[in-house]
Amino acid sequence: RVLGRILAEDVTGGENQIVLERGAMLDEAAVDLLEENSIDAVTVRSVIHCDARFGVCAACYGRDLARGHRVNVGEAVGVIAAQSIGEPGTQLTMRTFHVGGAVSRSVSTNNVQPNIDGTIQLDNVKTVQHADGHQVSVSRSGEVVVLDPQGRERERHKIPYGAMLAKPDQAEVTAGEVVASWDPHTHPVVSEMAGFVHLIDVVDGLTTVSEVDESTGLANIVVTDPKQRGAAGRDLRPMVKLVDAKGGDINIPGTDLPAQYFLPAGAVITVSDKQEVGVGDVLARIPQESSKTRDITGGLPRVADLFEARKPKEPAIMAEKTGVVSFGKETKGKIRLIITDEEREQHTFLIPKYHHVTVFDGEHIQKGEIIADGAPVPHDILRLLGVDALTNYMVNEVQEVYRLQGVKINDKHIEVILRQMMRKVEVLNPGETNLLKGEHLDRGAIADINNAAMEENKEPAEYEHQLLGITKASLATESFISAASFQETTRVLTEASVNGKRDELRGLKENVVVGRLIPAGTGFAYHTKRRESRAQEEVAVEDIWEALPVAEGEPSDTAEADVSADNSGDEAAAV
């Protein structure tokens, strides 16, 4: 994936010697060198972060994929990107794939095994110590990082809630050794402290049913779906609460929240009332089978949905803040979820009851983590996790569709289109500029305004990126001729004339419409030369003016009139 990219930072090998310098292009020989030094990750330049005001710079684009050298200035990379994504579209199917079945479920991963010898580091993992000595993960966004002997990160594995850790932080591991393991088919509810179980609203026949497991012959208590309960059981919320020997509440360590765990529909309760439990014991298991089998839209419709930045029908809900989860009083159709941040401020979110909430009372979550199942919303990823997270998500999702059809597309084509989708920004705080809060403008324009403000030691404006679908992005372009030639011609032209817009004719489309040479390829050189000669002519006219003798004293009215007449003539010649 790094072939043909340009390095943004020096790459160091063993003993910190520089293998490749910043600004080097990664050709085949350089990629072999990276493999020899077993370097897995490098920082490369990307068009997403390119600061070029118009178009992208050659260094951020990297290699011209047709010719194998650094891309020429004036190459129409946007057209190439659009054609590269559009052409294989003829090979994509329009049908929906049915993914997931007995086979694909049985191969889901259930442990972490490093591929190299090294040291493990637990990142964002909160654990509790089980009675038999091993650690149990009680955080949702935890990761195990594998470091090589030089201390460089080589691998990163996500570990789910309830995973058992066989190794502590900073422990030495060998390749193939199991570091963490979990049951891929169920999601456990783990007790974070010792105490006695108190089952609340668990009424057999009303909120729960007894089911006999065919394989083991044991009876399980399963929580029923609120929709299938009678009127009496609809408002009851089954939960497991931990109490001390006297029946008093036990708080989760470090918080003033009682240790209680709400049980969603389908949860299998594995403890009985008044049973004593230890730290890290499993109180209930939530089967994960149901969510895995779903139809995924494959082929062209999926690519269209991604590039049009459409919101999915059943969106995932992401945490807006980092903090501790608790549940408030429910309304008729919604669950009230409260996140208490580190400043003890509470943020309330109402989530529809048909969403399966995947977090528990008292759990610590990070901003941008998924708290209710569903398909991720690209706009939320951009707003909560930033530009890089959205780029990774979009590139991977688009590539996934083409990969199923055996089509190879270079990532940079998708990035070029993403850059255009993220061209607009919304002003959050105008600072000491003339902008207004909530104003939408181009990324390049706000960069110019902020640079000018900082030169005068004024406070720059704060902004956030907006994600527009390709149709909307085309209509929101700076050139009104380009937008009018695409869609909604009357509206675009009326707005342009009302606002007195001026088209600089910078893009290809507007130049085609007015019948000029396009500013790409040989036309790029022609337009550059034309601009340079115009600038030289203007300089020459200024020199002539400076050379003119100025009479001493006040100039007469007639002299002034002559000068202005001459001036207008010079301007006409220079244009």
The pLDDT value given to residue 548: 81
User: Percent of the chain having pLDDT more than 70?
Assistant: 89
The pLDDT value given to residue 498: 95
User: Percent of the chain having pLDDT more than 90?
Assistant: 15
Structural domains in the chain (count): 4
Per-residue pLDDT for 140 more than 90? no
Per-position DSSP letters for 304-354, written without gaps between them: HHHHTTPPPSSB-EE-SS-EEEEE----SSEEEEEEE-TTS-EEEEEEETT
**Which pLDDT tens digit goes with each residue over 506-541?**
888 889 999 989 988 888 888 889 989 999 988 888
Are both 177 and 229 inside the same structural domain? Answer: no
Residue 568 CB partners (closer than 8 Å, separation 6+): none
User: What's phi and psi for 90, nearest 5 deg?
Assistant: -70, -20
Query: Sheet harboring 239-243: ordered strands across?
Result: 260-262, 239-243, 195-200, 276-277
For residues 492-514, average pLDDT: 90
Structure-block tokens of residue 487: 């869609």
Are both 245 and 340 inside the same structural domain? Answer: no
Are both 168 and 263 inside the same structural domain? Answer: no
Are both 236 and 269 inside the same structural domain? Answer: yes
The pLDDT value given to residue 103: 46
The pLDDT value given to residue 98: 52
Per-residue pLDDT for 451 more than 70? yes
Are both 285 and 234 inside the same structural domain? Answer: yes
More confident residue, 531 or 562: 531
Are both 266 and 322 inside the same structural domain? Answer: no
Mean pLDDT value across the chain: 81
Is 460 part of any domain? no
Among 369, 393, 417, the domain-final residue is 393
Are both 197 and 271 inside the same structural domain? Answer: yes
Q: DSSP state, 371?
A: E
Residue 209: which CATH number? Answer: 2.40.50.100
Are both 253 and 287 inside the same structural domain? Answer: yes
**Which pLDDT tens digit goes with each residue over 61-100?**
989 988 888 999 889 999 999 999 888 877 766 555 555 4
Angle in degrees, CA 9, 13, 14, rounded to 5: 145
User: What's phi and psi for 480, nearest 5 deg?
Assistant: -80, -25
User: What's phi and psi for 205, nearest 5 deg?
Assistant: 90, -15
Is 28 part of any domain? no
Computed on alpha carbons and rounded to an integer, the radius of gyration of the chain in Å comes to 31
Is 540 part of any domain? yes
Are both 149 and 214 inside the same structural domain? Answer: no
> Which of 61-75, 100-114, 447-461, 532-546 has the lowest average pLDDT?
100-114
Are both 192 and 264 inside the same structural domain? Answer: yes
For residue 453, the tally of other CB atoms under 10 A from its CB is 19
Q: Which of 154-158, 322-326, 433-437 has the highest mean pLDDT?
A: 433-437
The pLDDT value given to residue 490: 93
Boundaries of domain holding 204: 188-292
Is 414 part of any domain? no
Are both 196 and 153 inside the same structural domain? Answer: no
Beta-bridged to residue 181, according to DSSP, are: 111, 164
Are both 312 and 360 inside the same structural domain? Answer: yes
**Which pLDDT tens digit goes with each residue over 227-252?**
777 777 667 778 888 888 887 888 77
Is 25 part of any domain? no
The pLDDT-based confidence of 291 (bands split at 50, 70, 90) is very low
The pLDDT value given to residue 515: 92
Structure-block tokens of residue 364: 């610590």
Is 29 part of any domain? no
The pLDDT-based confidence of 105 (bands split at 50, 70, 90) is very low
Among 258, 292, 326, the domain-final residue is 292
Alpha-carbon span 138 to 187, nearest angstrom:
12
The pLDDT value given to residue 92: 65
Structure-block tokens of residue 94: 């329009």
Per-residue pLDDT for 544 more than 80? yes
Is 387 part of any domain? yes
Is 123 part of any domain? yes
Among 184, 206, 237, the domain-final residue is 184
